[in-house]
Amino acid sequence: AKKKGKANHEVFEPRMDAPALGRLRMGTDLRRAVERGEFRVHYQPEVSLETGEVVGFEALVRWEHPEHGLVAPARFIPVAEETGLIVPMGRWVLEEACRQARAWQDLRPDGPPRVMSVNLSARQFEHPDLARDVARALRESGLEPGRLVLEITESVVMNDARSTVGTLGELKALGVRLAIDDFGTGYSSLSYLRRFPVDYLKVDRSFVDGIGEDPGDAVLVSGIVDLAHALGLNVVAEGVETQEQLALLRGMGCDLAQGYHFARPLPSEEASTLLARARPL
């Protein structure tokens, strides 16, 4: 075990409270998990609201903990982010997702083109090796750059607008597509959307949730769709759970949707089965 690093240092802090101790243990476990390859990627379909076809997948990481079983990202991503382990973990997710996308493409080379979306955390986005890592994942998997979508949250994009423009430009130069994730939850000045070379807006689930009941949410989502289209962006609705939400989103002209109504995030074998079934969702 390493002797350096913030987490290991904190272990000797005498007045540490219990939650911090839990985080520490998790930090140690996480480091081991990276080394032992305990992470898995699940894939959630993204569906075209026009055709009902699966037009892409979002890669979502899970941790197969030897004692606790499958752990959700909300429980370990914050610790991974704090300790910096998110960088090697995220690099692995990126590589794995690109390999999987390429494998699905090879299964049906004449099938409809599908994209693979991968989440980038703040730490990854700010890391100087990001573009190099993305380029390598594309090269080693043989995935066409245009089939990879990198998702960055609104808050990360807005954090330092000047350096963001530079990093987004570097990524775009590789030929990948970019999505703003959790759109609507941050404080972006909408004018920035014009300056960032993004391709997709993903409307946060909290807004999609309410569109059936809250007229305010419906107006908001409808406005986001119109704005995005005016700027030439595609809109993905996250967290679609009901037929009613689906119908409303379709009426608004939303392009893509993702949510339990269609499918949960699936292990790769189950996602493959779903793809083989060809029938629109």
Give the interface with ligand C2E as residue ranges (CB under 6 A): 44, 60-61, 72-74, 77, 90, 93, 119-121, 181-182, 238-241, 258-260, 265
Q: How far is the CB of 263 from ligand C2E (least distance, A)?
A: 9
The alpha carbon torsion through 264, 266, 271, 277 (nearest 10 deg) reads -40
Indicate which of ligand C2E, Ca ion, none lies near residue 61 (CB less than 5 to 8 Å, by partner kind). ligand C2E
Q: How far is the CB of 74 from ligand C2E (least distance, A)?
A: 5
Whether the CB-CB separation of 154 and 193 falls below 8 Å is answered with: no
Whether the CB-CB separation of 266 and 42 falls below 8 Å is answered with: yes
Among positions 95, 96, 151, 217, the unique one binding Ca ion when judged by CB under 5 A: 151
Q: Which is nearer to Ca ion, 8 or 188 (CB)?
A: 188
Indicate which of ligand C2E, Ca ion, none lies near residue 186 (CB less than 5 to 8 Å, by partner kind). none
Q: Find the radius of gyration of the CA atoms of the chain.
A: 19
From the list 182-190, 209-217, 218-226, 263-271, the region that binds Ca ion by CB under 5 A is 182-190
Instruction: State how far Cα 234 lies from the chain centre.
Output: 16
Phi-psi region of 112 (alpha: psi -120 to 50; beta: other; left: phi over 0): beta
Indicate which of ligand C2E, Ca ion, none lies near residue 255 (CB less than 5 to 8 Å, by partner kind). none
Residues 6+ apart with CB under 8 A from 174: 131, 134, 135, 138, 145
One character per residue 84-123, x = contact with Ca ion (rule: CB under 5 A): -----------------------------------x----
**In terms of Cα–Cα distance, which of 214, 217, 192 is closest to 203?**
217
For Ca ion, the binding residues (CB under 5 A) are 119, 151, 181-182, 238
